[in-house]
């Protein structure tokens, strides 16, 4: 995968978010090292078994900014590819909603009005953190849902966003996404492991649907972000389901 430059105009957004959340995301304790090690080696296999009410704060100290940055890059890339970001957002399996904050910031940076964000997660602690993080970043939450996600047999009035959510679901979930695809009037966006995104592509294409737009990118982090992430690059594996135009 060819490395490309991190968009210069996004750097201030990422640095500003880090600064605003510094008091919440300051790393502390051995549990951070344990979570980092577990995710590094076994993340895609253990996510569905974790109790985020127990590890929420340590998890976000390790991964919030990285997941936020991946969402920031995905939404910005989709916009540059010609896809509109003019809907609201429904962040499914939101955690502390790094995706919701990223979506709101990209939209406003591009000149759109601040969107209303709906978030859903089964973890009460994660949702409480989402409220705090959104307040710190002036992001408006329209609705907070504490429950498991089930696809409705009705039109969605927002773009859906799944950040490392689909990898936690059973294999039938992607088939359900395909079966209910016409209900996603504003599409859905995904950030996940590469093999998860490839499974989405294969499932839709196998059934004759070629409206999955995939994004596999490696971005070189500028020095200020390298200091924060302790890494020199960030990989974004994602996709967008482009809804049928009326």
pLDDT tens figures, 80-129? 999 989 899 999 999 999 999 999 999 999 999 999 999 999 999 999 99
Distances (CA, A) of 84 to 6, 56, 194, 212, 242: 21, 32, 24, 15, 10
What pLDDT sits at residue 95? Answer: 95
Q: Where are the domains of the chain?
A: 3-241
Give backbone dihedrals phi and psi of 166, rounded to 5 degrees, phi first: -65, -30
What pLDDT sits at residue 47? Answer: 57
Q: Are 219 and 3 in contact (CB under 8 A)?
A: yes
The CATH number, out of the four listed (3.90.1150.10, 3.40.50.150, 3.40.640.10, 3.40.190.10), of the domain defined by the range 3-241: 3.40.50.150
pLDDT in tens, 183-223: 999 999 999 999 999 999 999 999 999 999 999 999 999 99
pLDDT: is 154 or 134 the higher one? 134
Q: What is the rounded CA–CA span in Å between residue 82 and residue 77?
A: 9
pLDDT above 60: residue 36: no
pLDDT band (50, 70, 90) for residue 46 = low
pLDDT band (50, 70, 90) for residue 43 = low
Identify any residues that bridge with 218 across adjacent strands, giving them in sequence order: 3, 235
pLDDT above 90: residue 235: yes
Angle between helices 52-80 and 98-109 (to 10 degrees): 30
pLDDT above 70: residue 37: no
With pLDDT > 90 as the criterion, what percentage of the chain qualifies? 73
What pLDDT sits at residue 2? Answer: 83
Q: Supply the pTM of this predicted model.
A: 0.91
Q: In the predicted model, what is the mean pLDDT of the chain?
A: 90
pLDDT above 80: residue 70: yes
């Amino acid at each position: 995968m060819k490395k490309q430059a991190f968009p210069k105009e996004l750097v201030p957004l990422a640095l500003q978010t880090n600064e605003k959340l510094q008091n919440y995301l300051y790393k502390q304790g051995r549990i951070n090292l344990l979570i980092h090690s577990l995710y590094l080696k076994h993340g895609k296999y253990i996510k569905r078994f974790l109790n985020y009410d127990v590890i929420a704060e340590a998890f976000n100290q390790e991964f919030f900014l990285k997941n936020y940055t991946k969402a920031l890059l995905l939404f910005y890339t989709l916009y540059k590819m010609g896809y509109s970001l003019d809907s609201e957002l429904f962040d499914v399996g939101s955690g502390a909603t790094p995706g919701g904050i990223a979506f709101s910031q990209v939209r406003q940076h591009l000149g759109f009005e601040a969107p209303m964000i709906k978030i859903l997660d089964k973890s009460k602690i994660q949702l409480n953190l989402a409220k705090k993080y959104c307040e710190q970043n002036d992001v408006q939450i329209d609705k907070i849902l504490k429950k498991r996600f089930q696809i409705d047999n009705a039109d969605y009035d927002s773009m859906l966003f799944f950040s490392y959510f689909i990898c936690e679901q059973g294999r039938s979930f992607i088939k359900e996404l395909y079966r209910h695809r016409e209900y996603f009037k504003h599409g859905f966006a995904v950030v996940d492991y590469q093999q998860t995104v490839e499974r989405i592509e294969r499932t839709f294409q196998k059934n004759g649907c070629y409206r999955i737009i995939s994004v596999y990118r490696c971005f070189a982090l500028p020095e200020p972000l390298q200091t924060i992430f302790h890494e020199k690059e960030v990989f974004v594996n994602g996709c967008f389901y482009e809804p049928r135009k009326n």
